[in-house]
Homo-oligomer: A and B are copies of this chain.
Amino acid sequence: MSSIDIEISEVGPRDGLQSIDPIMPTEAKKRWITALAAAGIPEIEVGSFVPAKVLPQLADTAELVVHARQIEGLSVAVLVPNLRGAMNALAVLPHKITVPLSVSETHSLKNLKRTHAQVLEELRAIRAAIDELPTTERPKLEGSLSTAFGCTLEGEVPLDKVLEMAEKLAAAGCDEVGLSDTTGFASPVQVREYTRQIHQLLGREMLSGIHLHNTRGQGLANVMAALDAGLTTVDASMGGIGGCPFAPGASGNIVTEDLVFLLESMGLKTGVNFERLMAARKVLAQALPQVELYGFTPEAGLPKGFRPATAQSGG
């Protein structure tokens, strides 16, 4: 297996599918996840452990974790809003559990129906539950700082508040924190500065990933800033599907296909094969013909004579 410079974490099966009305059949999701992994995507967030009545689109998350865990080399991630969800997740042992905490408490109350103190309380309980597992089975616990760059309800979110919450997530037992531009407000200057400050505060190993939106077309510009700041994992969604359905006016993840092209064109290995990625896109398109898939590179194709970094390393 070739080495990877930048890890793309595909969030389409979670962030994408939770944002659209039609429910993708479980067997189609499995085919899609298999195709994504076959294209070389190293990590997939396969779903979220929320009550089926809240998000019926993701009711089969446990079955998808079991399926995805059988794929050699794939890191299987899930989102979990609370302890109850975490217990359901731990029953099927994903490799990574992400718990969101909205830095904007207004958004936290609206989205998770919890204050910061309540989220941190749940996190400590989740940490304890994880620690009861044998060492080799413990998933990595990530606390995700959502609305870190601004909130559709509160507007500006102060950097100090982001740092305070990052510190509290670490103190509550998170193995890692993540930055999330839930609302599509982030500027490259913010991405660089916030990353630098969290690295100073908690150490570089505590923040490696970022979740960026393309709400105002600035998604890949922010990726440039993230690379500058030394981040090595970037979330993206095939066809750009998804966003945050609870933040009014916010929509649009970074398109996986365009991110792969950008990184590979810069000589950064993603481990992803573009043709096989297009095959995975076809699986998605066939399963959800009524959903619009975005992306420039799928339309334009690769440039004539294009040599992706991954291919050059023999990956």
Contacts and interface: CB of A to CB of B under 8 A. Distances in A.
Contacts of A154: 304
Nearest to A297: B216
Contacts of A296: 214-218, 252
A280 to B, nearest CB: 18
A48 interface: no
B187 A265 contact: yes
Given A224-B225, A252-B296, A296-B217, A304 B155 contact: yes
Interface stretch (A20-28, A29-37, A194-202, A254-262): A254-262
A249 B301 CA distance: 8
Contact of A220 (B215, B220, B265, B301): B220
Contacts of A151: 304
Interface string A149-186: 01111111000000000000000000000000001110
A300 interface: yes
Nearest to A218: B262
Interface in A24-64: none
A289 interface: no
Contacts of A217: 220, 255, 258, 261-262, 295-297
A92 interface: no
Interface residues of A, number: 43
Contacts of A214: 296
A314 interface: no
Contact of A224 (B188, B265, B267, B303): B188
A272 to B, nearest CB: 15
Interface of A: 150-156, 183-185, 187-189, 214-218, 220-221, 223-225, 249-252, 255, 258, 261-262, 265-267, 295-297, 300-301, 303-306
15 contacts: A151-B304, A187-B266, A188-B266, A189-B267, A214-B296, A216-B297, A217-B296, A218-B261, A218-B265, A218-B296, A220-B221, A221-B221, A221-B224, A249-B301, A250-B300
